[in-house]
């Protein structure tokens, strides 16, 4: 990390988004403004660091078409209130999730002794969860883009939660789990692709399948496909956490194949 | 909708002052927001609030209902977003508005305070509005504004309605406001006796924890027959 800070100091104008690095804890580093005088922290060759007060006002994100201001304070009231609301929702979700995980951990520990399960890290999920507000907000925005679609609307109306099968039905990625940025973005991408199966009917339904084939399967095989059920902000979670966690292993194989199934022909298969 | 239901909606939301077509549009917005142009609806409400003080006093209610309805129907926030951005525009131009028309300025303050009152986010006031509301009230407490009864009247009305909430979210600015009010009451020459009465009452009201004691209430609010 000290190399990074030294590098930043000698290049005060490097303010592009691609230069943003992550600290060891996964949180984003602040961009340094030009010139050394504005900085409050002097040397930190030991790798520790504090957020500088001078941060970049705006940058282009994957979701936006142009520069957007930092989440700290957009200029217009409409966005400020939307951001506030999202922040509060995320915090509320975090409370709920923590409570859920604590409940599941107890059950998982009891099962572990009898089944001798693998290195599934879910029993320590409570300590391993993502809590960085900036990350959670970004992830929530990405989830919202997917949920604000006709496809999602039709999907949720058609397939109630208790009828959903892992691998077959799209599951919202769990924003509280620790994932690399790349892994998360890929999960979102795949989830949205899966949701397309519920797009309002067009003349040629086959188009949807072709989109999937174009994916780089190398990337797909890298990522974890174990999405535990996410607490829905509207409904109280109905599924048993322990049960859903134990089904993870079955997800990893044929995602592309399963996605080809369209809405009307899903055979319920008892896992 | 049944005639009786339509009547209630008209009364509840004080939309009698709109022409019938607009009334219909608003009623539809309440029941089926995605079927109407919500940006247009928010503009209509904003524009009317600047003209009609009776409407602006309770316009927050209809706004709240539309916001809820839109969120429930399709998770949208077009209405709220547009309304807030209009509010922000008008806020930026408030000094000019005040110079042009006291009535419009007073309506604006009434409206923004009503929105602050009704449009909560997760049951909390909208943080984005706190400073702007204070800015407006503090403007009303300036010496030149205290000379106008309608501005004093507006100021005390808002403090009665949202003073307690405002103080909770930002107490130093409320202190700042009340320093001005005390000074105004004591030192401002040329205040009408009505203005002074209003100021005294609000000073007592806040000092009493946003409540008026029954004796004070009797003093200020009972009719004294001449």
- Identify the CATH number of the domain in which residue B201 sits: 1.25.40.180
Residue A232's pLDDT band, with cuts at 50, 70 and 90, is very low
- In the predicted structure, residue A36 carries a pLDDT above the cut 50: no
Q: What is the pLDDT of residues B29-67, one digit of tens each?
A: 999 999 999 999 999 999 999 999 999 999 999 999 999
Residue A7's pLDDT band, with cuts at 50, 70 and 90, is very low
> How far are the Cα atoms of A137, A175, A211 from residue A255, in angstroms, in the given order?
28, 21, 14
The pLDDT value given to residue A22: 52
Residue A44's pLDDT band, with cuts at 50, 70 and 90, is very low
State what percent of residues in chain A have pLDDT above 90. Answer: 23
- In the predicted structure, residue A231 carries a pLDDT above the cut 60: no
Mean pLDDT computed over A137-164: 89
Residues of A near B (Cβ–Cβ under 8 Å) read 76-82, 84-85, 88-89, 92, 147-148, 153
Whether residue B72 sits in one domain with residue B128: no
The answer as to whether B8 is a domain residue is no
The answer as to whether B4 is a domain residue is no
Q: Measure CA of the first residue to CA of the last residue in chain B; give whole Å.
A: 51
Judge whether B24 is closer than 8 Å to chain A, CB to CB. no
* More confident call, A105 vs A173: A173
Residue B110's pLDDT band, with cuts at 50, 70 and 90, is very high
On whether the pTM is more than 0.80, the answer is: no
Whether residue B137 sits in one domain with residue B92: no
**Taking CA atoms, what residue in A is nearest to B72?**
A234
The pLDDT value given to residue A174: 93
Q: Give the closest of B75, B87, B122 to A77, CB-based.
A: B87
Give the count of domains, chain B. 2
Instruction: Look at residues B105, B121, B137 and tell me which one is the last residue of a structural domain.
Output: B121
Whether residue B145 sits in one domain with residue B115: no
Close Cβ partners of B225 (under 8 Å, ≥ 6 residues apart)? none
Mean pLDDT computed over B86-114: 97
Provide the shortest C-alpha distance from residue B78 to chain A (in Å). Answer: 9
The pLDDT value given to residue A108: 75
The answer as to whether B7 is a domain residue is no
Ranked by mean pLDDT, which of A250-254, B8-12, B174-178 comes out on top? B174-178
Whether residue B115 sits in one domain with residue B202: no
**Taking CA atoms, what residue in B is nearest to A79?**
B81
Mean pLDDT computed over B169-197: 96
What ipTM score was computed for the predicted complex, to two decimals? 0.87
* More confident call, B160 vs A257: B160
CB contact under 8 A, A82 and B77: yes
In this complex, how many residue pairs, one in chain A and one in chain B, have their CB atoms less than 8 Å apart? 45
Mean pLDDT computed over A40-64: 53
Residue A219's pLDDT band, with cuts at 50, 70 and 90, is very low
Provide the shortest C-alpha distance from residue A85 to chain B (in Å). Answer: 6
Taking only residues 117 to 176 of chain B, the set having a beta carbon closer than 8 angstroms to any beta carbon of chain A reads 121-122, 124, 126-129, 132
Residue A45's pLDDT band, with cuts at 50, 70 and 90, is very low
Q: Which residues of A touch B116 (CB under 8 A)?
A: none
Angle at A199 between CA A213 and CA A221, to 5 degrees: 30
The answer as to whether B11 is a domain residue is no
Residue B75's pLDDT band, with cuts at 50, 70 and 90, is confident
- In the predicted structure, residue B78 carries a pLDDT above the cut 80: yes
State what percent of residues in chain A have pLDDT above 70. Answer: 42
Judge whether B89 is closer than 8 Å to chain A, CB to CB. no
Whether residue B128 sits in one domain with residue B208: yes
The answer as to whether B165 is a domain residue is yes
Residue A1's pLDDT band, with cuts at 50, 70 and 90, is very low
Instruction: Look at residues B121, B140, B167 and tell me which one is the last residue of a structural domain.
Output: B121
Q: What is the pLDDT of residues A53-77, one digit of tens each?
A: 556 656 666 665 555 555 557 889 9
Residue A193's pLDDT band, with cuts at 50, 70 and 90, is very high
Range of the domain at B50: 18-121
Whether residue B186 sits in one domain with residue B137: yes
Q: Give the closest of B75, B121, B127 to A148, CB-based.
A: B75
- In the predicted structure, residue A83 carries a pLDDT above the cut 70: yes
Provide the shortest C-alpha distance from residue A206 to chain B (in Å). Answer: 28
CB atoms within 10 A of CB B40: 12
Judge whether B61 is closer than 8 Å to chain A, CB to CB. no
Angle at A188 between CA A187 and CA A191, to 5 degrees: 85
Mean pLDDT computed over A126-130: 76
Whether residue B130 sits in one domain with residue B221: yes
Whether residue B210 sits in one domain with residue B135: yes
Residue A217's pLDDT band, with cuts at 50, 70 and 90, is low
Whether residue B146 sits in one domain with residue B106: no
- In the predicted structure, residue B95 carries a pLDDT above the cut 80: yes
The answer as to whether B13 is a domain residue is no
Q: What is the pLDDT of residues A165-186, one digit of tens each?
A: 888 889 999 999 999 999 999 9
* More confident call, A214 vs A200: A200
The pLDDT value given to residue A105: 79
* More confident call, B85 vs B9: B85
| Residue of B84, B91, B133 for testing the chain A interface, max A β-carbons within 10 Å | B84
Whether residue B117 sits in one domain with residue B155: no
Please state, in angstroms and rounded to a whole number, the distance separating the CA atoms of residues A102 and A7.
42
**DSSP 8-state class, residue A46:** T
- In the predicted structure, residue A200 carries a pLDDT above the cut 80: yes
Residue A48's pLDDT band, with cuts at 50, 70 and 90, is very low
| Residue of B127, B130, B136 for testing the chain A interface, max A β-carbons within 10 Å | B127
| Residue of A72, A73, A78 for testing the chain B interface, max B β-carbons within 10 Å | A78
The pLDDT value given to residue A78: 95
Judge whether B213 is closer than 8 Å to chain A, CB to CB. no
Question: Strands, DSSP E only, in chain A?
Answer: 58-60, 67-69
The pLDDT value given to residue A116: 56
Strands A58-60 and A67-69: antiparallel
* More confident call, B22 vs B14: B22
Instruction: Look at residues B121, B156, B175 and tell me which one is the last residue of a structural domain.
Output: B121
CB contact under 8 A, B128 and A80: yes
- In the predicted structure, residue B161 carries a pLDDT above the cut 80: yes
**Taking CA atoms, what residue in B is nearest to A89?**
B122
Q: Which residues of A touch B132 (CB under 8 A)?
A: 77
Handedness of CA B142, B126, A145, B75 (dihedral sign): negative
> b/e map of B100-135 (b: 16 or more CB within 10 Å)?
eeeebbbbbbbbbbbbbbbbebeeebbbbbbebbbe
Whether residue B70 sits in one domain with residue B133: no
CB contact under 8 A, B129 and A77: yes
Mean pLDDT computed over B171-188: 97
The answer as to whether B176 is a domain residue is yes
Q: Hunting for tokens 């049944």 — which residue is that?
A: B2
Please state, in angstroms and rounded to a whole number, the distance separating the CA atoms of residues B21 and B10.
13
- In the predicted structure, residue B90 carries a pLDDT above the cut 60: yes
Whether residue B50 sits in one domain with residue B130: no
Mean pLDDT computed over B115-124: 93
The answer as to whether B9 is a domain residue is no
């Amino acid at each position: 990390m000290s190399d990074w800070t030294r590098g930043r100091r000698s290049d005060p104008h490097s303010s592009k988004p691609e230069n943003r690095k992550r600290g060891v804890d996964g949180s984003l580093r602040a961009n340094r403004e030009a010139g050394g005088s504005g900085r409050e922290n002097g040397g930190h060759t030991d790798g520790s660091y504090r957020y500088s007060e001078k941060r970049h006002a705006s940058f282009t994100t994957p979701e936006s078409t142009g520069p957007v201001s930092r989440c700290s304070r957009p200029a217009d009231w409409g966005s400020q209130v939307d951001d506030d609301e999202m922040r509060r929702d995320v915090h509320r979700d975090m409370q709920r999730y923590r409570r859920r995980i604590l409940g599941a951990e107890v059950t998982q520990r009891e099962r572990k002794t009898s089944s001798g399960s693998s290195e599934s890290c879910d029993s320590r999920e409570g300590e391993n969860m993502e809590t960085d507000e900036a990350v959670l907000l970004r992830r929530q925005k990405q989830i919202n883009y997917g949920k604000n679609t006709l496809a999602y609307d039709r999907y949720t109306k058609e397939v109630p939660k208790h009828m959903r099968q892992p691998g077959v039905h799209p599951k919202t990625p769990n924003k509280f789990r620790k994932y690399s940025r790349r892994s998360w973005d890929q999960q979102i991408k795949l989830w949205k692709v899966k949701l397309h199966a519920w797009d309002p009917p067009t003349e040629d339904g086959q188009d949807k399948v072709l989109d999937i084939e174009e994916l780089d399967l190398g990337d797909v095989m890298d990522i974890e496909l174990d999405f535990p059920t996410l607490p829905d902000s509207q409904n109280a979670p109905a599924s048993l956490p322990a049960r859903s966690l134990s089904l993870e292993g079955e997800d990893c194989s044929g995602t592309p194949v399963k996605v080809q199934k369209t809405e009307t022909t899903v055979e319920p298969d008892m896992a | 909708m049944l005639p009786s239901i339509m009547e209630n909606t008209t009364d509840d939301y004080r939309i009698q002052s709109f022409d019938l077509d607009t009334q219909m549009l608003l009623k539809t917005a309440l029941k089926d927001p995605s079927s109407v142009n919500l940006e247009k609806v928010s503009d209509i409400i904003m524009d009317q609030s600047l003209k009609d003080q009776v409407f602006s006093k309770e316009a927050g209610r209809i706004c709240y209902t539309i916001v809820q309805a839109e969120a429930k129907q399709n998770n949208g926030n077009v209405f709220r977003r547009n309304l807030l951005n209009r509010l922000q525009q008008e806020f930026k131009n408030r000094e000019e508005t005040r110079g042009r028309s006291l009535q419009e300025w007073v309506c604006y303050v009434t409206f923004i305070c009503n929105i602050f009152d009704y449009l909560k986010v997760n049951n909390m006031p909208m943080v984005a509005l706190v400073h702007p509301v204070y800015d407006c009230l503090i403007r009303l407490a300036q010496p030149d504004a205290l000379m106008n009864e309608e501005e004093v009247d507006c100021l005390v009305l808002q403090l009665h309605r949202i003073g307690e909430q405002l103080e909770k979210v930002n107490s130093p600015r409320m202190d700042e406001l009340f320093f001005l009010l005390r000074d105004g009451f004591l030192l401002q020459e040329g205040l009408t006796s009505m203005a002074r009465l209003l100021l005294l009452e609000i000073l007592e009201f806040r000092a009493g924890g946003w409540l008026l004691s029954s004796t004070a209430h009797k003093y200020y609010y009972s009719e004294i027959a001449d």
